[in-house]
Amino acid sequence: MQTKDFGLITTLTSKGYHYQNYKVDELGRIWFTFSDAPEVRAIEDGFFRNTLSVPVQDFINAQTTMKTLVFDIRRKASETGAFVRTGRNVQ
């Protein structure tokens, strides 16, 4: 499963699932790849149906970790000259 939805990525991470890979597309969006296991799909379904519960502290910790990772990926892409688009400007 691939997603660029930061909320879903954070939720999966807080539930103990780790991304397998990531890629930055031509528009600068970061896509994370997770397992296609039924448990992962069930979390995805619960996330979009708004029926999933996540311990708040686990979510906050995962959010901090994933934000750091996203900023690091963007910094590396910027250093290598890869096209990275943000909401406010294009580098």
Summarised one tens digit per residue, pLDDT across range 18-75 is 999 999 888 888 999 999 999 999 999 999 999 999 999 999 999 999 999 999 998 8
Instruction: Give every CB contact of residue 79 below 8 A, 6+ residues apart in sequence.
Output: none
- The per-residue pLDDT for 83 is 56
If one counts every other C-beta atom within 10 angstroms of the C-beta of residue 12, the result is 26
Q: Say how far apart CA 12 and CA 40 lie, in whole Å.
A: 7
Among candidate residues 4, 17, 27, 14, the one with its CA nearest the CA of residue 65: 14
Give me the sheet containing 30-33, strands edge to edge.
2-3, 30-33, 21-24
Q: Judge whether residue 91 has pLDDT over 50.
A: no
